[in-house]
Amino acid sequence: MDEPPAAEEPSNAPPVIELRNVSKTYGEVHALAGVNFHVVPGEIVGLLGDNGSGKSTMVKMMMGYHGPDHGGEVWVDGKRVRDWSVNRARSLGIETVYQERALAEQQAVWRNMFMGRELVNRVGLLDIQRMRREAAEMMSGHLGFTSGAVHPDNVVQTMSGGEKQGVAITRALHFHARLVLLDEPTMGLSLSETRKTLDFVGSIKEAGRSAVFVDHNIFHVYPVADRLVVLDRGRVAGEFTQAEISLEELIDRLYAVAQTGRMEA
Amino acid sequence: MADKAGRSEVAERTGESAETAAAGGRAPTVSLRQHLRRHALTVATLGIALLIWLAFLVTAPDVFLNSRIYSAFATTTPLFAMIALALTLVVITREMDLSFGSVMALAMVGFVRTYDYTGNVPLSVLACLVVGVVCGLINGYLVAILGIPSLVITLGTLFFFRGVELVLLDGRPVVLRDPGVEGLRDALNGRTLDIPNELLWTVAVAIVLWVTLNRTRFGAHVFLVGDNPVSAQLMGVRVARVKIATFVIVGVMAAFTGLMTAMQLATLFPTLGDGTLLQPIASVFLGGTSVFGGTGSITGTFVGSFIIGSINAGVISAGIQGFYSQLFFGLVIILSLVLQTLISRRMRH
């Protein structure tokens, strides 16, 4: 995986993000052990793996919540980033849609939309009118929420699972994310809401942006991913372009990984 | 101010789950019913308090129809209301501070010592407030950085700060009758247009804290930290820093309250602030700030403080012995919290 990006994308641009030899240890537990991973512009990478495979740790590392242990490196656009943090990752255009828990349930939609990035006016006070207006525009513009259905003043906990996901996704898009990290975005969603979310993943690609789609439901990941990376016990157990592996084959191999830790069926 | 505060309470817990909202079809806009639900917590707690107050009105009408009692608690209520206003922010972040009573006294040691050495009043006031900041930083560090449950650790600092103060004062009171401090006493305890300055200070503090909570990024972060600290952290909110700041604000307000109280009594008693524990906490919960974090309002606390203040005055005026006020404050805290829990649970079904 150290070689340059796979050839399925026309662009020769450096990866949006590249993790080189990253490890993460919590006490005795090696959540990640020497993982190499990259995403090129316009690519949707599906990250598969069982519980405890290190998926969440990897997402948290890409979003800047964790730094890699000593020896690991994070590269963005072909440049090594040493002061890796949430704010750094965000300033480089990496956004996360972090399950439903991404939202503060008791707060209004507009407060969630601008979480950690509140707009202020000239004297430094919150520009509430502007945040509400922009929140309403985002919701009708990006996600086709009819303006009356979801009001920016609505409290998040009164909304349905799909609507919440919509708010989180809209938030990422609005802030011009170049790489969207989707951490189990379909969890707990109804069929139609799941479909809506998957459509969005497609639209990220259309917009020329990249995404890492994490899920343990391969039926959701496979159709929308260009490339699939399988994690097992903190290591990359296998990697395929969608073109070179069928869904059935992938399922067989995932069972093999679960039982033996190796991809070969 | 009241209608703007209503907006901040849009964040009031409605308890409606995603499932019921999805199944029952969502309301096109914020309906009246939703609106009432959101404010139910505040309305109910304030309703209970008003009932208690009406009871006093019936028991001692001659006292409670006389304006002197209101003038009296306009000078006594601020002595815990300013702390309650600051404490609101801490409670919204889902923490608690119990140590403010001791901070009041310890900060005053900073005042009298600096005054003894320099005779400079502004410098002494500054020293007093700095002690408050330091106490807040200690509390904040222990809670936000070390992660010790605030209810327990601030019980520890409550005793610790008191102990330091008693050792420094050697348990003896300090009289504050030096002519040099009279100007300060006027500013703190005088009257402006026949309104007690204590009340004006409290209104000023309430306005500043209201703007801080509802119109600044810091205030927005206070709500987020209490609602979903993990997500807030992931979205770049500096959770620990926000929590520490709220403890520092309580420390400063406790120091300022200590100064105001001691100047009012013209004496720094070593026991200053000893009996101040219950009123601020009761005011915060009575005002509808949720013990579960994430929601709360400065306006609610402000109104809550004055209701608590009237209970305080009422218990005594109604001819009941003074130590019954503890029973009432305890009752108010318990009732507020039971109501908060029942209402939010009921709204979930």
Window 46-65 of A: residues touching B by CB (8 A cutoff) are 63, 65
Cβ atoms of A112 and B223 within 8 Å: the answer is no
Give, for all 349 residues of chain B, the pLDDT tens digit: 334 333 333 333 333 333 333 333 333 345 566 556 666 666 766 676 678 778 777 877 777 777 777 777 788 889 999 999 999 999 999 999 999 999 999 999 999 999 989 988 899 999 999 999 999 999 999 999 999 999 999 999 999 999 999 999 988 898 888 888 888 888 888 888 888 889 999 999 999 999 999 999 999 999 999 988 888 887 778 999 999 999 999 999 999 999 999 998 889 899 998 888 888 998 898 888 888 888 888 988 998 888 888 777 777 666 666 667 778 778 878 887 887 787 776 655 4
Cα–Cα distance between B27 and B49 in angstroms, integer? 32
Location of structure tokens 């930083």: B137
What CA dihedral angle connects A190, B15, B281 and B78, to 10 degrees?
Answer: 110
Counts for chain A of helices (H) and strands (E), in that order: 8, 10
**Sign of the alpha-carbon torsion through B25, B28, B32, B37:** positive
A88 vs B: CB within 8 A? no
Of the candidates B10, B22, B28, which has its C-beta nearest A155's C-beta? B10
DSSP B157-191: HHHHHHHHHHHHHTT--EE---GGGHHHHHHHHSE
CA distance A217 to B292: 34
Q: What is the DSSP letter of A3?
A: S
Which site among A86, A155, A156 would you substitute to test the B interface, given the most B Cβ atoms closer than 10 Å to its Cβ? A155
- Is the ipTM beyond the 0.85 threshold? no
A94-98/A179-183 β-pairing: parallel
- B112: how many CB neighbours lie within 10 A of its CB? 21
Tell me whether residues B18 and A111 touch, CB distance under 8 A.
no
Rounded distance between C-alpha atoms, residue B265 and residue A188, angstroms: 61
CB–CB of A41/A18 below 8 Å? no
Contact residues for B277 (Cβ-Cβ < 8 A; gap 6+)? B98, B100, B101
pTM summary value? 0.76
Q: Could A126 and B13 be called an inter-chain contact, meaning their C-beta atoms sit closer than 8 Å?
A: no
In the block, tokens 């402006």 appear at B192
Distance CA A143, CA A113 (A): 14
DSSP state of A75: E
Give dist(CA B286, CA B302) in Å, integer.
10
Distance from CA of B214 to the nearest CA of A (A): 8
**Helix or strand run (H / E) with residue A227:** strand A227-232
